[in-house]
Amino acid sequence: MTQLAQHDLWTGYKLRWKRRRLLFRAFRKRRQLEPVIDRTGSIPSDGILVFTTVRNEALRLPFFLDHYRRLGVTQFLIVDNGSTDGTKELLADQPDVSLWHTSYSYRLSRFGLDWLTWLMIRHGHDHWCLTVDADEILIYPHWETRPLPALTEWLDECDTRSFAAMMIDMYPKGPVNAQRYEAGQDPFDVLEWFDRGNYRIQMQDPLKNLWIQGGVRARMFFGDRPERSPTMNKTPLVRWDRRYAYLNSTHALLPRRLNEVYAEQEKLSGLLLHTKFLDTIVEKSKEEKHRKEHFNNSSLYDSYYDALMTAPELWCERSTRYLGWRQMESLGLMSRGNWI
Contact yes or no for 150/87 (Cβ under 8 A): no
> Quick one: CA dihedral 95, 125, 102, 303, positive or negative?
negative
With respect to residue 339, please indicate whether it lies within any of the assigned structural domains.
no
pLDDT per residue rounded down to tens, the chain (340 residues)? 676 667 678 788 899 999 999 999 999 999 999 999 999 999 999 999 999 999 999 999 999 999 999 999 999 999 999 999 999 999 999 999 999 999 999 999 999 999 999 999 999 999 999 999 999 999 999 999 999 999 999 999 999 999 999 999 999 999 999 999 999 999 999 999 999 989 999 888 888 888 999 999 999 998 888 888 999 999 999 999 999 999 989 999 999 999 998 865 578 999 999 999 999 999 998 888 888 766 666 566 788 889 999 999 999 999 999 999 999 999 999 999 999 7
The full 3-state SS of 282-328, as one line of letters, equals: HHHHHHHHHHCCCCCCHHHHHHHHHHHCCCCECCCCCCEECCCHHHH
With respect to residue 336, please indicate whether it lies within any of the assigned structural domains.
no
String of DSSP letters for 78-93? EEE-S--SSHHHHHHT
With respect to residue 190, please indicate whether it lies within any of the assigned structural domains.
yes
pLDDT of residue 204: 85
Distance of alpha carbon 119 from alpha carbon 113, whole angstroms: 10
With respect to residue 266, please indicate whether it lies within any of the assigned structural domains.
yes
Domain hosting 26: range is: 11-330
Distance of alpha carbon 20 from alpha carbon 245, whole angstroms: 9
With respect to residue 271, please indicate whether it lies within any of the assigned structural domains.
yes
3-state class of 167 per DSSP?
A: strand
Distance of alpha carbon 77 from alpha carbon 75, whole angstroms: 7
pLDDT of residue 263: 64
pLDDT of residue 125: 98
pLDDT of residue 292: 73
Number of independent structural domains in the chain? 1
Domain of 118: which CATH number? Answer: 3.90.550
3-state class of 30 per DSSP?
A: helix
With respect to residue 337, please indicate whether it lies within any of the assigned structural domains.
no
